[in-house]
Amino acid sequence: MALLYAATGRPPPRFVWVRSPGEAAKVLPPKEITRFTGDWQSAEAQIAALASDLRFRLRQSSEWKGQAHQVAEFLRLRIREGLVPAVKSTMPVSLGLSWSGQHDADWQAELDVHHRVLGARFSRHDLALLDVWETLTRSTGWWWPREDVCVMAERPVAVHVDADSLLHNDNGPAVTFADGSCAYAWHGSPLTLAATAPDPANPGFELKLYDLPERARLLTVVNGSVERDGTRRRYGLRVPRWFRDPIAAAAWTYGLGPDHYAQLLRRT
């Protein structure tokens, strides 16, 4: 990190460690990122310029398709479109420009494949800079560089994925940080919990309704029968997005009204 600050002509910053990106919001002021109206000479803007210039130069010096592109797409789908928005959802406000530490692996891996596997020729200066970014990816969680301070978040304590390495957990949060902040995901899609209700048809278990990215909601229901290992599987059902009440949504999946669903005597 000191090397990155040095590359922008700055002394090393003071480091403030937090347990999660959510906790970073307690030490940094909110900042809009969509319309960047800030100072282009700021530490974060100059570090952003370093990264984008590096990526531009390295992309110029190699053929951008085939194997490296496949690696990048594989990682982009899992990290950039799954983990990153899920982690963002744990933050109460936007804090402006930030980097994702280990979750910046996608673009760096693409450059790395060009360099190590496909033999692309990069300058020594650029390789040294890429090495700095890769070191950060190997060693940090999310970070927010500011003028004289850099806020560093610890990495998650748990990440769950499905068989395709897509962010997913049937039974709870897919990403959890040490302070308890967490996010849910369903086969790679980050979810926002919209409502929960006790399942009238399955005592002791909850129906949960999540917002899906694509104009629908996902109802998750715990199976009535136990699996071989003694656990109960939670499965997801897509329902129309107008449902606010999980019981009404569960009833709809069986073509019933909520009053009738509540009369369900047994579900196996």
Partner 1 sequence: MNLAELVDRTSVDTLDHLERETTVPVVDGLQAQGDLIVIPFSMFAGPPEQNASRWVPAEGIHLVQGADGRNPHVLVADPGTCTWSPAGDPELGLGIVENTAPVYLLHPEHGGTGIAPGRWVVRQQRERTGFVAD
- The footprint of partner 1 (CB under 8 A) covers 201, 216, 223-228, 237-240, 253-256, 260, 263-268
How far apart are CB 223 and partner 1 at their closest, in Å? 8
Nearer to partner 1, 48 or 216 (CB): 216
* 120 or 264: CB nearest partner 1: 264
Q: How far apart are CA 184 and CA 197, in angstroms?
A: 17
| Consecutive H or E run containing 56 | helix 43-60
Nearest distance from residue 72's CB to partner 1, in Å? Answer: 30
The whole-angstrom distance between residue 231's C-alpha and the CA centroid of its chain comes to 27
Nearer to partner 1, 165 or 223 (CB): 223
Are 99 and 143 in contact by the 8 Å Cβ rule? The answer is yes
Decide whether 127 or 216 has the Cβ nearer to partner 1: 216
Using CA atoms in the order 68, 69, 72, 78, what is the torsion angle rounded to 10 degrees? -130
Q: How far apart are the first and last CA of the chain?
A: 55
- Least Å distance, CB 226 to partner 1, is 8
> Could you give the angle at which helices 43-60 and 105-116 cross, rounded to 10 degrees?
30
Q: Which is nearer to partner 1, 55 or 267 (CB)?
A: 267
Residue 86 Cβ vs partner 1, minimum distance, rounded to whole Å: 22
- Using the minimum distance from each CB to partner 1, give the nearer residue, 37 or 265: 265
- Residue 193 neighbours by CB under 8 Å, 6+ apart: 184, 208, 209, 210
How many residues in total does the chain contain? 268
CB of 215 to partner 1, least distance (A): 10
Q: How far apart are CB 249 and partner 1 at their closest, in Å?
A: 10
143 beta partners: 99, 152
Q: In what order do the strands lie in the sheet with 158-159?
A: 158-159, 175-176, 182-186, 189-198, 206-212, 216-222, 234-239
